[in-house]
């Protein structure tokens, strides 16, 4: 059984309630990504360096 199928099976209630639960879970996940994970990841990726510095990192 795959992850998304088992998630769907374990959510309680009739299908409209399951849909609402899925939307709430997805929104929580996006918030976690945008507010915690991506801000942590961003400076570790080599895309946004705009300063000149002796070492090859953004100072």
Partner 1 sequence: MSGRAVVRTFGEVLITAGALLLLFVAYQVWWTNVVANRAVAAQTNRLLNQFEHPPPGLGPGPSPVEPGQAFALMYNTALGDHWNRPVVQGVTLADLARGIGHYPQTAMPGQVGNFAVAGHRATNGEPFAYLDRVGRGDDVIVRTDLSWFVYRVTDVSIVAPTDVDVIDPVPGRPGAVPNEQLITLTTCSPRWASYARLIVHGVLVATSPESAPPAAVGGG
The answer to whether 40 and 48 are in contact (CB under 8 A) is no
Cβ nearer to partner 1, comparing 17 with 36: 36
Reduced to 3 DSSP states, what percent helix, strand and coil does the chain have, rounded to the nearest 5? 65, 0, 35
List interacting residues with partner 1 (CB under 8 A). Answer: 1-4, 30, 33-34, 38, 41-43, 46-54, 56, 58-59
Cβ nearer to partner 1, comparing 17 with 34: 34
Q: How far is 59 from 52, CA to CA, in rounded Å?
A: 8
Q: Name the minimum Å distance from CB 2 to partner 1.
A: 5
């Amino acid at each position: 059984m795959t992850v998304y199928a088992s998630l769907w099976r374990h959510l309680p209630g009739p299908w409209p309630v399951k849909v609402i639960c899925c939307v709430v879970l997805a929104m929580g996940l996006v918030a976690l990504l945008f507010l915690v994970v991506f801000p942590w990841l961003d400076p570790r990726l080599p895309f946004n360096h705009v300063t000149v510095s002796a070492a090859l990192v953004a100072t």
